[in-house]
Amino acid sequence: MRISELSRRSGVSIPTIKYYLRDGLLPPGHATAANQADYNEDHLRRLRLIRSLIGVRGLSVSATKDVLAAVDEQQGDMHLLLGLVLGALPVERSGRPPRRDGAEEPAGAGAAAGDAAEDVAALTAEMGWKTSPNPPAAQVVTETLETLRALGMDYDWRSLLPYAHLADRAARLDLDQLEGAGDPLQQAERAILLTVLLEPALLALRRLAQEHHSAQRFSNG
């Protein structure tokens, strides 16, 4: 197909496609004339993957290159591929912007750090989760426990355990949806889309359920 059709089918503008071609993110098409090239379905799929990494998830061009190189190298090893793709995606902290109010870190946050890390180790052990050493996601859980404690809440890994069981079931659902997804490029795309794009929706579903159950429990009317 011509670049115009590639643009139409991917939803990516022609200047952006040309930028990806110049930058090596997208391999060149098959030249059919001095200033014209032909693109195939692989180009379209790769372009959709780039789009989901850069346009939807906000990865940098260089992080996107690393993920695409990993996809190219790890054909067939789905676990390595998933690890590379998920590992390259930054984990949201709390969507919080840099502190604007000039406040220091809560008193005691530093001292509690070691304890919180041990808590997360206890939680993953209890769940039987085997992960890579020090995954970024574990750091996020550690930080959350530290923050809750620094704000005076009595919260430890046992408080998180029921949520960890729900997360375990969510992850099984996620992986069910990757089975039979086709070639590694398609699997990588599905893994990214289902992991990253679903995240805000999962939080939004919790908010909707909170509103409903809050009305059930607390409404005076």
CA distance 17 to 46: 11
The label of the residue with tokens 């009305």 reads 215
Is 133 among the residues that bind its own copies (CB under 8 A)? no
**Which residue in 5, 24, 175, 182 binds its own copies (CB under 8 A)?**
175
Torsion of CA 47, 51, 53, 57, to 10 degrees: -170
Q: Is 120 in contact with 144 (CB distance < 8 Å)? A: no
Neighbours of 136 (CB within 10 A): 13
Is 63 among the residues that bind its own copies (CB under 8 A)? no
CB of 33 to its own copies, least distance (A): 26
**Which residue in 33, 96, 133, 180 binds its own copies (CB under 8 A)?**
96
Q: Which of 33/152 has CB closer to its own copies? A: 152
Short-list 182, 201, 202, 197, CA closest to 81: 182
Phi, psi of 36 (to 5 degrees): -145, 140
Q: What residues numbered 22-41 form the site for its own copies, per CB under 8 A?
A: none
**Which residue in 30, 102, 133, 180 binds its own copies (CB under 8 A)?**
102
**Which residue in 164, 180, 184, 188 binds its own copies (CB under 8 A)?**
164
**Which residue in 6, 39, 51, 185 binds its own copies (CB under 8 A)?**
51
Is 156 among the residues that bind its own copies (CB under 8 A)? no
